[in-house]
Structure 1
Amino acid sequence: MRYEMYIELRGSDLTRAMLERGDEKVWCAISDESDKQAITDLTCNDFMAHIVAFEDGFFYCTGGMQWLHAVPAKIIPMTFM
């Protein structure tokens, strides 16, 4: 018998796993405080970034900035019915 273990990943852990499997750009809500802060502090327009790497304990975005927390987010266009 073959047993497989499934681990549910969330938040910054999921972003790290996505980068490790080869994803090149991951849209993320970002913060230096916590995953929770990343998804709840939605002021201005600077809470999202394309994350391209995780090195030395930091997530790096396409602009070269470093972040401690990066939570993957799905961006979809809104429609009006």
Structure 2
Amino acid sequence: MQSGIHPAYGPVVFRDKAGGLSFLSRSTLTGSRTIEWEDGNTYPVVDVEISSASHPFHTGQARVLDTAGRVERFQRRYGTRHG
């Protein structure tokens, strides 16, 4: 690697807003806020919207979509075409 052209790669805490999961990893991302981790050190924190703690695929809690209501609304709006 050439020196001076790559971003700093260091420890960062990723915190899931919805699931409440936090984990320490390494990344080039940096956060403006910091958090004191379990080991007593302070690390930058990056808030994420979704992770394995809150994603429906991993949790098994799929969102139910009202597809029947959408079809009926489409048919009311545009009618049904026969022939």
Q: Look at both structures and tell me which one has the larger radius of gyration over its CA atoms.
A: 2
Give the alignment's TM-score, normalised by structure 2: 0.22
Structure showing greater relative contact order (alpha-carbon pairs closer than 8 Å, 6 or more residues apart): 1
Give the alignment's TM-score, normalised by structure 1: 0.22
